[in-house]
Amino acid sequence: MPKAAYHLTHPQRRTTSVVFSSPHSGCDYPWSFLRRTTLNTHTVRSSEDAFVDRLFQDAPRHGAPFIKAGAPRAFVDLNRAEDELDPALIDGLRKSGHNPRVASGLGVIPRVVANGQAIYSGKITMAEATRRIETYWRPYHEALSAQFDQAHLMFGQAILVDCHSMPHEAVDSVVRMGVRRPDIVLGDRFGAAAAADVVDRIEEAFVNAGLVVTRNTPFAGAYVTQRYGRPSRNRHAVQIEIDRALYMNEQLIRPNGHFEAFRTLLNGVIADIAAIGCPTGQALAAE
């Protein structure tokens, strides 16, 4: 089993209502899992947001807590509801209603990785699925909820920045002739998960760094933004998708030659986003 459900880094002094999270960057693949999968150790990582945790690891230096997954996405998906269970994977589970994510094999216990490649040759038991949820999914969300609630208590608002990466070709469908392809996709569930001024300022932070940003297409946000985003209660959640080609070799799953330069660039963006949640930032947002 993976050693930890999550890794939480606290700032030396909490100065912002922003919380950064990375639910898909876990890469602790236990031998017991690798022995059961039909995939090789390289292919099984294809759905992982590799190195996103390294890109955002300096968030605590800017006064914000940072929580990242301990377990990999292929083992348990923290960006799904705990009841998004797949009857095609879990033995004895009856189908109830239609869920597009579950139907495609991307439930809380995934059946496939990228490009629909099957993780297992057969089914797993309900006991195994429940064990993963109780051991990894629930502790992660309990810790994230605690940080989010603490931010709201301290600052009167909470802003969750949920950090992800996307394959380079993921935005092919939204690229227009003569226009630079998006580097970043912000997802706020079309306004349901975050107030417009918060999303505007997050977008501005990326644009000021020279990055091209689009919203909600092709990624509008999944379970995390749906669960934590309550803008009417000053609880905002925004999903960030970063083009992997900016910092990694997708085929080899390795940082590319631009990794450190991009991480430095992103560190400035993180500082600007953290400033949104500082008391002065709140005052500016209200003007």
Number of domains in the chain: 1
Residue 1 covered by a domain: no
Enclosing domain of residue 198: 6-286
Per-residue pLDDT of 76-124, as tens digits, reads: 999 999 999 999 999 989 887 788 999 999 999 999 998 899 999 999 9
Rounded to whole angstroms, how far apart are CA atoms 265 and 55? 10
Residue 11 covered by a domain: yes
Q: List the structure tokens of 44.
A: 């099984």
Residue 212 covered by a domain: yes
Rounded to whole angstroms, how far apart are CA atoms 165 and 22? 10
Per-residue pLDDT of 59-80, as tens digits, reads: 999 999 999 999 999 999 999 9
Q: What CATH number does the domain containing 199 carry?
A: 3.40.630.40
The pTM of the full predicted model, rounded to 2 decimals, is: 0.94
**Which long-range contacts does 37-42 make (Cβ < 8 Å, 24+ apart)?**
37/74, 37/119, 37/120, 38/118, 38/119, 38/120, 38/121, 39/113, 39/117, 39/118, 39/119, 42/253
Residue 170 covered by a domain: yes
